[in-house]
Amino acid sequence: MAGGPSTPELAIAVCQAGGLGFLAAGYKRADAVAREIQTVRAATGAAFGVNLFVPGAEPATPRSLAGYLAEIASEAARQGASVGEARFDDDDWQAKLQLMCTERPAVVSFTFGCPPAEVSEWLHGAGVAVWVTVTNVAEARAAQAAGADALVVQGSEAGGHRGGFIDDGSDEGGIGLLALLRLTARAIPLPLIATGGIMDGAALAAVLCAGASAGQLGSALMLSPEAATAEAQRAVMADPGPTRVTRAFSGRPARGIVNRFLVEHSAAAPLAYPEIHHATSPLRAAARKRGDADAFNLWAGQAHELAHAWPAAEIVREIAAEADAVLERVSAGRRGPGTSAGSRSPSS
Amino acid sequence: MAGGPSTPELAIAVCQAGGLGFLAAGYKRADAVAREIQTVRAATGAAFGVNLFVPGAEPATPRSLAGYLAEIASEAARQGASVGEARFDDDDWQAKLQLMCTERPAVVSFTFGCPPAEVSEWLHGAGVAVWVTVTNVAEARAAQAAGADALVVQGSEAGGHRGGFIDDGSDEGGIGLLALLRLTARAIPLPLIATGGIMDGAALAAVLCAGASAGQLGSALMLSPEAATAEAQRAVMADPGPTRVTRAFSGRPARGIVNRFLVEHSAAAPLAYPEIHHATSPLRAAARKRGDADAFNLWAGQAHELAHAWPAAEIVREIAAEADAVLERVSAGRRGPGTSAGSRSPSS
């Protein structure tokens, strides 16, 4: 939940409720991440994790950018903002890796790619567990080969950026969480952390049955007071609006609630991350400030309407307790007398 | 699994294993469906279901068809076949409804739309339960209002046609099964049958936790000897090939294993069902017969590579038994000492 909702306060609250809180390092300089780590450590001695973006290999070609930058100039003007510089960067990669080896959080998770094997070795040497976000079995195999200790398995339901390695434009929203968990569990003998659409205890119980060791929450925490979710987004999160995967805001596929900007610009948006992210950044910030929910990225998963505006610790505790109750009830129901053999069969 | 894999033998085997076997009435005349029902009844006294396609409201415009028919003429020639007549029909709707009221299977499930309330009343009067396939909460509400007794909740993972009501081209692969089950369970107080990507007992256990009363199998049964799956498709089902949703074969979105025909024609294919289905029918039949897996529809769900070439009864029994074992193991693990509080928290 980089780029907004993630805060040290949210990570602290999750840790205090018995979860593994995460800090989002993406889009931030290493020194800002260092300050967030200090804030967490001042509040809790619990284990926590940090999520890093793996930088892309090369900048987009100026030719693929020019048309889209022209297209969004009117959007910038509408918000009283300018189009940002469409620059390539590596998200302060080396400095953040160095910070991780110094600060040694319990876990560093990676998104947008697979860290090289020497990075895993380096982190392992510092006593840090390496988790890699994957969206298909090929990525899972590559992550295993690169030394991952666990895989964050991101289903198509997930809000925000698709966390896979390669954006060749063919992802098409991706593989549903349940199918992806089974495919990955059958192929790769690593602990799996499920993410995408987990909004309540029944969903957590489901992913535990499907082979996950844990569930990772995103949208489920976005209405909590500890999250820095924009007010204009909070207002639409609880409504049953459809979501779509788009490159319009960042140049990289991400799932958000459908709004005017997404509808008008998805078709033209190039594969160009982080260039488009930087280009739209000022206009998105202005729209967020003005409360114009039709003009910034409303990242949210497919079940976002099930989010609660509860304190984060309460959300975590409620989901864990409900998962236990669901597992107890469903397994008792299968054991009990008078239940049918169960699996039902085909049509259409 | 209309249009190929579904057979009376498959339904019989599923029934005999304690499942609820289904006959696929789609694409068949009512008299052919009647014969299949007789075959099932001659073999088993168990309850079974029949799946019907709800016909569309109106034919496609000739203008939207012409370009695509020209495009696929070379595909037909390549197979030594002709382009079929791009005709609209209602899939023998009235005659099949009449047959359902006469034959009274335990369940009639509907796909591609919501039957009018008077159809539900009519079937209820005949003692037949009405199930409606849904892909979002709006469809679930409409099905409830029309008198459905249960909802077949189809996740984006599912192979074959998207079973929802309206094809406005915006479905984009749809909502993942886990998210869709939770959204539907929270909104609609009807029994839910989960479908899409359920290939093993762990997945069945997962959907039961997520609110389903049962799971419906499709791809999981397609390699069984009782299924009439084309030989050329069997050969690719067990490989980890990617799937995509396409209108190229039928004019209606359906998920199949990516092959040459799908890649070359998806972009141009219009929303025109059943016209395109009929137009491509001869060339698909010829390709199937010739074993050319690059030129017909390889309908399969996102976890198809987990299918087993076991007898259908064995598949059903194994999935049911594994679901019980998984539920027992996971709930015992949560109860047991030394397990963590469980739910994990956010990143990216």
Structure confidence by residue, pLDDT tens digits, A291-314: 999 999 999 999 999 999 999 999
8 Å CB contact of A323 and B306: no
Q: Is the pLDDT of residue B343 over 70?
A: no
What are B39-70's pLDDT values in tens digits?
999 999 999 999 999 998 888 888 889 999 99
In terms of CA atoms, which chain B residue is nearest residue A222? B346
* The two three-digit tokens of residue B59, written as one number: 């034919």
Identify the architecture of domain A8-55+90-230+307-332 in CATH: Alpha-Beta Barrel (3.20)
What are B67-122's pLDDT values in tens digits?
999 999 999 999 999 999 999 999 999 999 999 999 999 999 999 999 999 999 99
Q: Which residues of A207-225 are buried (b: 16+ CB within 10 A; e: fewer)?
A: bbbbbbbbbbbbbbbbbbe
| Whether A270 contacts chain B with CB within 8 A | no
Residue A57 confidence class, pLDDT cut points 50, 70, 90 = confident
| Whether A219 contacts chain B with CB within 8 A | no
d(CA A117, CA B321): 40
The superfamily (CATH) of domain B8-55+90-259+298-330 is Aldolase class I (3.20.20.70)
B317 CB neighbours in chain A (<8 A) are 341
pLDDT at res. B340 = 44
Strands (E) in chain A, as ranges, are: 21-24, 48-53, 107-111, 129-134, 150-154, 160-161, 192-195, 214-216, 243-246, 254-257
Taking the CA of residue B84 and the nearest CA in chain A, the distance in Å comes to: 22
What are B197-214's pLDDT values in tens digits?
999 999 999 999 999 999
User: How far separated are the first and last CA of chain B, in Å rounded?
Assistant: 38
What are A186-206's pLDDT values in tens digits?
999 999 999 999 999 999 999
Which of the 8 DSSP states describes residue B83?
P
- Coil/strand/helix, residue B63: helix
In terms of CA atoms, which chain A residue is nearest residue B204? A343
Residue B62 class from Cβ within 10 Å (0-12 exposed, 13-18 middle, 19+ buried)?
Answer: exposed
B171 CB neighbours in chain A (<8 A) are none
Pairing mode of beta strands B254-257, B160-161: antiparallel
| B-proximal residues of A, 96-135, CB under 8 Å | 109, 111, 133
What are B274-304's pLDDT values in tens digits?
999 999 999 999 999 999 999 999 999 999 9
Helix (H) or strand (E) holding B246: strand B243-246
Q: What are B131's strand-pairing partners?
A: B109, B150
Closest Cβ–Cβ partner in B51, B152, B175 for A302: B175
Distance between alpha carbon B185 and the CA centroid of its chain, in Å? Answer: 20
Q: Is the pLDDT of residue B345 over 60?
A: no
By C-alpha distance, which of B47, B205, B195, B189 is closest to B129? B47
Q: Is the pLDDT of residue B342 over 70?
A: no
What are A64-115's pLDDT values in tens digits?
899 999 999 999 999 999 999 999 999 999 999 999 999 999 999 999 999 9
What are B149-193's pLDDT values in tens digits?
999 999 999 999 999 997 666 657 799 999 999 999 999 999 999
User: Which positions ≥6 away from B61 have C-beta within 8 Å?
Assistant: none
- B160 Rama sector, left if φ>0, alpha if ψ -120 to 50, beta otherwise: left
Contact B178, A212 (CB under 8 A): no
The strands making up A21-24's β-sheet, listed across from edge to edge, are: A21-24, A48-53, A107-111, A129-134, A150-154, A192-195, A214-216
ipTM of the complex: 0.94
In terms of CA atoms, which chain A residue is nearest residue B243? A175
Closest Cβ–Cβ partner in A175, A202, A215 for B344: A215
pLDDT at res. B346 = 38
Residue B4 confidence class, pLDDT cut points 50, 70, 90 = confident
pLDDT at res. B58 = 85
Pairing mode of beta strands A254-257, A160-161: antiparallel
8 Å CB contact of A202 and B196: no
Helix (H) or strand (E) holding B257: strand B254-257
d(CA B311, CA B313): 6
In terms of CA atoms, which chain A residue is nearest residue B306? A183
- Counting one residue from chain A and one from chain B, the pairs whose CB atoms sit within 8 A come to 319
Q: What are A20's strand-pairing partners?
A: none
By C-alpha distance, which of A148, A204, A143, A140 is closest to A178? A204
Q: Is the pLDDT of residue B347 over 60?
A: no
8 Å CB contact of A346 and B193: no
Q: What are A84's strand-pairing partners?
A: none
Contact A224, B345 (CB under 8 A): no
Q: What is the CA radius of gyration of chain B?
A: 20
Residue B166 class from Cβ within 10 Å (0-12 exposed, 13-18 middle, 19+ buried)?
Answer: middle
User: Which positions ≥6 away from A85 have C-beta within 8 Å?
Assistant: A278, A279
Contact A324, A332 (CB under 8 A): no
d(CA B111, CA B89): 16
Mean of pLDDT values over A235-245:
92
| Whether A166 contacts chain B with CB within 8 A | no
Closest Cβ–Cβ partner in B176, B210, B334 for A324: B334
Other C-beta atoms within 10 Å of B77: how many? 12
Angle at A244 between CA A243 and CA A248, to 5 degrees: 125
Q: Is the pLDDT of residue A348 over 80?
A: no
What are A109-166's pLDDT values in tens digits?
999 999 999 999 999 999 999 999 999 999 999 999 999 999 999 999 999 999 999 7
Percentage above 70 pLDDT, chain B: 95
User: CA torsion sign, B72 to B78 to B79 to B85?
Assistant: positive
8 Å CB contact of B178 and A176: yes
Using N-to-C axis directions, what is the helix angle for B312-335 and B8-16, rounded to 10°? Answer: 40
User: CA torsion sign, B334 to A187 to A174 to B244?
Assistant: negative
Q: Is the pLDDT of residue B331 over 60?
A: yes
**pLDDT mean across residues, chain B:** 93
